[in-house]
């Protein structure tokens, strides 16, 4: 008997925690943190206390109380007793926070299965962010083509296209037939062939169940979305029509988007300026030859922006060891100010204060290459627009989503023809029900037998 239970990603976007049981085998697929996780009880500086391990989370039932899952250390101040692992492994679909963050609580004895590139992305996060700790784990790395026998269950990871490199879906061969889990995926990115491979494989195994993401399963989409090639084309138009500075704000680990801006800059005879963090990530990912990314230390078209820190004099000692690696490629606000028409610069929202030093000429261009805000009262969005207005910049919204839209989701399910559909990572399960009679409306922690 095969059973599925969903401990996260139920009526919410992200936070997937999917438990599959086949006789004595128990495997989790993803173990992430949803975007709205804990926001009923915690906000800004009022955060769960690290010293209390899982205690603060259990107090509000924010994480499931499952025996044989968590580490001894995380359980120390809770009334759930530590038990030897009763879970055989955790497979991670990709390195986004909403799929991996909560592995920090897991028993290090439980093996984690990750893509080769995903591991590099996660290491880079841990090495360059003070807030990111995934904990110690035994990692078993995979690429498409590998498969793992975990007790009686065989798990086959298959690449998909998503807004971060090294994203996978899984085909899980159980005693009751195949179960397919999409992870997060799209088909309008530069590697749509990856998603196509996955969909073909999924269809050919005639699955008994499809666990399908539904981020964009909405009645009517209000936000503007392009394909990655449209983002590139439209950004190029912005750059070619100005002799002023072009700033671009994107998700730091969306390397398809980095590549788009890199190419746009080159095509228009400009250099691209990135943060030390992005430079570090690019260097790290050179270890994955499949990703084909430029080396910031060797590529003359990439410059690295150093902001003033500590002494304010760009002294080597002012920076973290990992940041210092790129000082040969260093540019500062003065350089940016003097060469505005020759550059395309990455700029994160949290680095906006640099604009005061850079002092862009009025009429500079700002490309917001991220999702539009989810609500009209988004404070960060308001602040961002205030800054853009203050510096008299032109605003452009140019983004390609990491997810299939409604029509594409419906096509995907029709093509794969699973016996049952389990919608996860969506706020609109009922819409799946509207299109498919075999769609289950899932409830948190409830058991579903296949
Ligand atoms: Zn996700």
How confident is the model over 333-339, as a mean pLDDT? 98
DSSP H or E stretch at residue 160: strand 153-160
Averaged pLDDT, 242-266: 97
Average pLDDT, integer, range 250-259: 97
Spacing, Cα 169 to ligand 1 middle (Å): 12
3-state secondary structure of 179: strand
Distance 274 CA to ligand 1 centre (A): 25
Give me the phi and psi of 261, to 5 degrees please: -70, -35
Are the C-beta atoms of residues 448 and 5 closer than 8 Å to each other? yes
Measured in angstroms, how far is the CA atom of residue 30 from the centroid of ligand 1? 10
Instruction: Return d(Cα 102, Cα 100) in angstroms, integer.
Output: 6
Q: Ligand 1 centre and the CA of 180: distance in Å?
A: 16
- Residue 2, pLDDT > 90, answer yes
The arithmetic mean of pLDDT across residues 85-93, rounded, is 98
Q: Is the pTM of this model over 0.85?
A: yes
Structure tokens at 335: 């350089």
CA end-to-end span of the chain = 7
In angstroms, rounded to a whole number, what is the distance separating the alpha carbons of residues 367 and 369?
Answer: 6
Phi/psi-derived region of residue 183, left when phi > 0, alpha when psi is between -120 and 50, beta in every other case: left
The Å distance, Cα 162 to ligand 1 centre, comes to 10
Q: What confidence category does residue 289 fall into, taking pLDDT thresholds of 50, 70 and 90?
A: confident
pLDDT of 37 above 90: yes
Whole-number Å distance, alpha carbon 166 to ligand 1 midpoint, is: 13
**Distance from residue 262's CA to the centre of ligand 1 (Å):** 25
- 3-class SS string, 251-316: CCCCHHHHHHHHHHHHHCCCEEEECHHHHHHHHHHCCCCCCCCCCCCCCCCEEEECCCCCCCCCCH
Window from 198-207, 217-226, 431-440 with minimum mean pLDDT: 217-226
Identify which of 199, 207, 138 has the alpha carbon closest to the alpha carbon of residue 169. 199
Q: From ligand 1's centre to the CA of 216, what distance in Å?
A: 11
Determine the average pLDDT of the residues in 308-331: 97
pLDDT one-digit tens code per residue, 368-403: 999 998 777 889 999 999 999 999 999 999 999 999
Picking from 390, 348, 386, the residue whose alpha carbon sits closest to that of residue 369 is: 348
Which residues lie at CB < 5 A from ion ligand 1?
Answer: 14, 98, 184
User: How far apart are the CA of 336 and the centre of ligand 1, in A?
Assistant: 35
CA distance 31 to 83: 19
Q: What is the predicted pLDDT for the residue at 225?
A: 85
Selection from 407, 413, 20, 14 nearest residue 199 by Cα: 413
Are the CB atoms for 389 and 178 separated by under 8 Å?
no
Sign of CA dihedral 351, 352, 353, 357: positive
For residue 325, name the pLDDT band (cuts at 50, 70, 90).
Answer: very high
Position 376 scores a pLDDT of: 78
> What number is the average pLDDT over the span 71-84?
97
Yes or no: say if 287 and 267 are a contact pair by the CB < 8 Å rule.
no
pLDDT band (50, 70, 90) for residue 130: confident
Cβ proximity of 327 and 317 under 8 Å: no
pLDDT at position 41, please? 98
In this prediction, what percent of the chain has a pLDDT beyond 90?
94
- What pLDDT is stored for residue 292 in this prediction? 84
């Amino acid at each position: 008997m095969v059973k599925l239970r969903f401990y996260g990603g139920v009526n919410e976007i992200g936070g997937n925690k999917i438990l599959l049981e086949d006789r004595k085998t128990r495997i989790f697929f993803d173990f992430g943190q949803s975007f709205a996780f804990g926001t009923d009880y915690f906000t800004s500086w009022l955060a769960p206390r690290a010293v209390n391990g899982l205690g603060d989370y259990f107090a509000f039932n924010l994480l499931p109380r499952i025996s044989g899952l968590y580490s001894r250390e995380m359980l120390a101040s809770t009334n759930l007793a530590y038990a030897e692992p009763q879970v055989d492994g955790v497979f991670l679909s990709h390195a986004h926070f909403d799929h991996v963050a909560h592995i920090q609580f897991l028993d290090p004895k439980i093996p984690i299965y990750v893509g080769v590139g995903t591991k590099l992305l996660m290491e880079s996060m841990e090495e360059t962010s003070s807030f990111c700790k995934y904990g110690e784990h035994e990692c078993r790395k995979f690429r498409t083509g590998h498969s793992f026998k975990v007790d009686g269950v065989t798990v086959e990871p298959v690449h998909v296209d998503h807004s971060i490199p090294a994203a996978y879906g899984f085909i899980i061969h159980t005693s009751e037939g195949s179960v397919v889990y999409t992870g997060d995926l799209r088909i309008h990115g530069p590697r749509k062939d990856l998603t196509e491979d996955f969909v073909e494989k999924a269809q050919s195994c005639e699955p008994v169940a499809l666990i399908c993401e539904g981020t964009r399963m909405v009645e009517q989409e209000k936000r503007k979305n392009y394909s990655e090639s449209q983002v590139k084309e439209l950004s190029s138009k912005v750059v070619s029509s100005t002799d002023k500075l072009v700033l671009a704000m994107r998700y730091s680990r969306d390397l398809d988007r980095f590549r788009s801006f890199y190419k746009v800059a080159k095509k228009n005879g400009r250099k691209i300026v990135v943060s030390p963090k992005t430079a570090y990530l690019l260097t790290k990912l050179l270890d994955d030859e499949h990703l084909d990314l430029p080396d910031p230390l060797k590529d003359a078209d990439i410059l690295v922006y150093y902001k003033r820190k500590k002494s304010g004099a760009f002294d080597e000692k002012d920076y973290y060891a990992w940041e210092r690696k790129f000082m040969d490629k260093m540019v500062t606000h003065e350089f940016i100010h003097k060469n505005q028409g020759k550059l395309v610069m990455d700029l994160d929202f949290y680095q906006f204060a640099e604009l005061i030093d850079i002092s862009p000429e009025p009429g500079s261009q700002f490309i917001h290459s991220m999702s539009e805000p989810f609500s009209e009262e988004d404070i960060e969005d308001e602040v961002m627009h205030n800054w853009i207005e203050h510096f008299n910049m032109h605003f452009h919204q140019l983004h390609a989503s990491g997810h299939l839209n409604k029509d594409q989701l419906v096509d995907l399910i029709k093509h794969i023809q699973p016996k049952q559909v389990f919608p996860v990572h969506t706020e609109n399960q009922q819409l799946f029900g509207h299109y498919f009679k075999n769609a289950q409306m899932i409830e948190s922690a409830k058991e579903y037998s296949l």
